[in-house]
């Protein structure tokens, strides 16, 4: 007769095979070891990189503060009344521009000295504004270029008349084209 085969070897319930359990432990140990190595390297890098920074910023800040002059607050001088100029050669139709101008400076004494030459300054700006092309001024780029030209013109006048740059920028506070 046929031999009766017994049931295959069944391990105790809840117990994993001996080979699978040791592989799982080995994987967990490798992962923990890698995480520990990465953590230690990051910690060491931060420690050694930050070691010299605690002393250096205090020294650098003191040097920078002593070397850099204190920037004065801005002072503004509004040129009133606004400039109104007309354009010629615009195809027969009269065109006008109204511009409100403010001068920005950081030196009140130089700005006061420039006030003595205000008629000359206003004349120079009127001549500059009226010599522009109407179509170019209709764009923001054209307006910015006019502002930069006005800044250069006033700075040159200040350099010539009072011997130093009295203003930092010419600003347009109002700009109307018609």
For the chain, domain boundaries: 21-67, 75-177
Rounded-to-integer distance, Cα 166 and Cα 111, Å: 6
DSSP state of 90: S
Q: Is the pLDDT of residue 13 over 70?
A: no
Q: What is the pLDDT of residues 99-150, one digit of tens each?
A: 999 999 998 998 999 999 999 999 999 999 988 888 888 899 999 999 999 9
CATH 3.40.50.300, domain 75-177, yes or no: no
What SS3 class is residue 87? Answer: strand
Does position 30 have pLDDT exceeding 80, yes or no? Answer: yes
Q: What is the pLDDT of residue 100?
A: 95
Q: Other C-beta atoms within 10 Å of 99: how many?
A: 24
- Which tokens sit at 165? 């740059």
Measuring CA to CA, how many Å separate 51 from each of 46, 48, 54, 55? 8, 5, 6, 8
**What's the pLDDT band for 178 if we cut at 50, 70, 90?**
confident
Q: CB–CB of 84/156 below 8 Å?
A: no
Q: What is the pLDDT of residues 147-166, one digit of tens each?
A: 999 999 999 999 999 888 88
Question: What angle is formed at CA 95 by the lines to CA 92 and CA 96, rounded to 5 degrees?
Answer: 160
Residues in the chain: 178
User: Which pLDDT score, from 0 to 100, does residue 41 have?
Assistant: 87
pLDDT at 172: 93
Record the pTM: 0.59
Q: Which of 32-46, 58-72, 140-154 has the lowest mean pLDDT?
A: 58-72
Confidence of residue 61 (pLDDT cuts 50, 70, 90): low
pLDDT score at 60 = 62
Percent of the chain with pLDDT over 90: 39
3-state secondary structure of 11: coil
């Amino acid at each position: 007769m046929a031999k009766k085969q017994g049931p295959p070897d069944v391990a105790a319930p809840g117990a994993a095979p001996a080979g699978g359990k040791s592989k799982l432990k080995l994987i967990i140990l490798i992962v923990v070891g890698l995480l520990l190595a990465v953590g230690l390297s990051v910690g060491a890098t931060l420690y050694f990189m930050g070691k010299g920074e605690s002393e250096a910023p205090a020294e650098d800040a003191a040097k920078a503060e002593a070397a850099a002059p204190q920037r004065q607050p801005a002072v503004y001088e509004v040129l009133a009344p606004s400039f109104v100029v007309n354009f010629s050669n615009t195809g027969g139709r009269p065109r006008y521009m109204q511009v409100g101008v403010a001068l920005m400076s950081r030196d009140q004494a130089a700005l006061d000295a420039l006030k003595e030459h205000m008629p000359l300054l206003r004349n120079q700006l009127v001549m500059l504004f009226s010599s522009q092309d109407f179509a170019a001024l209709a764009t923001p780029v054209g307006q910015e270029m006019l502002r930069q030209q006005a800044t250069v013109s006033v700075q040159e006048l200040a350099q010539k008349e009072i011997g130093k740059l009295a203003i930092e920028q010419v600003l347009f506070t109002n700009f109307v084209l018609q």
